[in-house]
Amino acid sequence: MSSKQTSDTYIPLASDTELVRRFLDRVDPPQTLSAAEEQDLLNRLKQTLQEKNAKLVAHYYVDSVLQDLAEASGGFVGDSLEMARFGHDCDADILVVAGVRFMGESAKILSPDKKVLMPTLEATCSLDIACPIESFSAFCDEHADREVVVYANTSAAVKARSDWVVTSSIALDVVEHLAEQGKKILWAPDRHLGHYIQQTTGADMLLWDAACIVHEEFKARGLIDMKKVYPEAAVLAHPESPASVLEIADVVGSTTQIIKAAQSLPQMDIIVATDQGIFHKLQQLAPQKNFIIAPTAGNDATCRSCANCPWMAMNSLQRMLMSLEAENNEIEVDAQLAEKAMIPLQRMLNFAAELNVKVEGKA
Ligand code: 13P
Ligand code: SF4
């Protein structure tokens, strides 16, 4: 980070390793299902979704069975911008969000009249955890001359304190637009994405200091070694990865942008630096290609999370059916907060529509 970017209000949190360990120590590992049990759950879910006029909206990182169910039942699989848009535009009474909590909250804020359920309310995100509203708000107050742009991976309260909410698929365009207007930016919470945007746009950005525990584990040195084994390979990376990894990447983009690039690039070997859940869609859409996960930290203690978001992995068929049948695990957002958070979220959707960022995403 340059001195201009350095935040002097870094909040010392438990280390990322500790955060993951503590979390993994108290969650039950996903139950293994027989093929018959899985089919039974799928049948019951399909029927219940239909009976309740409910739509399943899933992220690319969740289990492939959930992604397939979303598509087979008239729901949707996508990146976080597309999920927000689908939830907002569809006419379901209930949205079942298979992803992490901020995705459920965004859906609720944008569709206050819909009931929003999640398989578990415990599925959070390290970026959300590392940006508590009290210290974030104080940081904004200290830098009141800056336009506040926050990543969607934040709480409703943080969104309500912002001028703009962005996802990784649109963050560059929004910041470029603001920089053209001569605006100085306060960015939170992902430092790698913030740094990447700052380097690409040249905007004056002050960065919050947090990172995604999954993407931060991708390592440039291992990637360089892997490129020696696959010299012709293209490297596709999510911008939550460290700068040293992004520098090597041929394409940097959101999950949908990565999928589109994998389809359109001529290379047959594709090294991917993001959560492994995306491989399901990659293999579906480009079955002739060879997808390889980018190297992570290796055998250290956090490796249970390597390229596999522990919170996304909490979404299961059993939990989803229990939540949908009982209509529990409902996302609730305080009405006043939701009203405030709706403004920057809607601003993002309007901006995306103007840019013609269609449901398929903009690669
Ligand atoms: P996308 O917006 O690219 O889907 O990313 C969301 C996310 O949480 C990545 O870790
Ligand atoms: Fe959050 Fe990282 Fe998981 Fe995405 S992959 S939900 S940024 S912890």
200-215 pLDDT tens trace:
999 999 999 999 999 9
115 CA distance to ligand 2 middle (Å): 24
pLDDT of residue 356 exceeding 50: yes
* Paired tokens of 98: 């298979």
pLDDT at 32: 85
How does residue 9 score in pLDDT terms, banded at 50, 70 and 90? very low
**Element holding 97 (H helix, E strand):** strand 94-98
Arithmetic mean of pLDDT over the chain: 90
Q: Is the peptide bond before 189 cis (omega within 30 degrees of 0)?
A: yes
35 CA distance to ligand 1 middle (Å): 30
Q: How far apart, in Å, are the Cα atoms of 342 and each of 84, 133, 140, 160, 339?
A: 12, 17, 19, 8, 5
338 CA distance to ligand 2 middle (Å): 22
Reported pTM: 0.91
pLDDT at 299: 52
305-349 pLDDT tens trace:
579 899 999 999 999 999 999 999 999 999 999 999 999 999 999
Ramachandran class of 277: left when φ > 0, alpha when ψ lies in -120 to 50, beta otherwise: alpha
Residue nearest to atom 7 of ligand 2 (CA): 212
233-292 pLDDT tens trace:
999 999 999 999 999 999 999 999 999 999 999 999 999 999 999 999 999 999 999 999
pLDDT at 306: 77
pLDDT of residue 23 exceeding 90: no
**Element holding 73 (H helix, E strand):** none
pLDDT at 81: 86
83 CA distance to ligand 1 middle (Å): 11
pLDDT of residue 228 exceeding 70: yes
Residue nearest to atom 2 of ligand 2 (CA): 212
pLDDT at 207: 97
Residue nearest to atom 3 of ligand 2 (CA): 309
254 CA distance to ligand 1 middle (Å): 6
Ligand nearest to the CA of 257: 1
Measured from CB, residues less than 6 Å from any atom of ligand 1 are 79-81, 153, 167-169, 212, 238, 240, 254-255
Q: What percent of the chain has pLDDT over 70?
A: 87
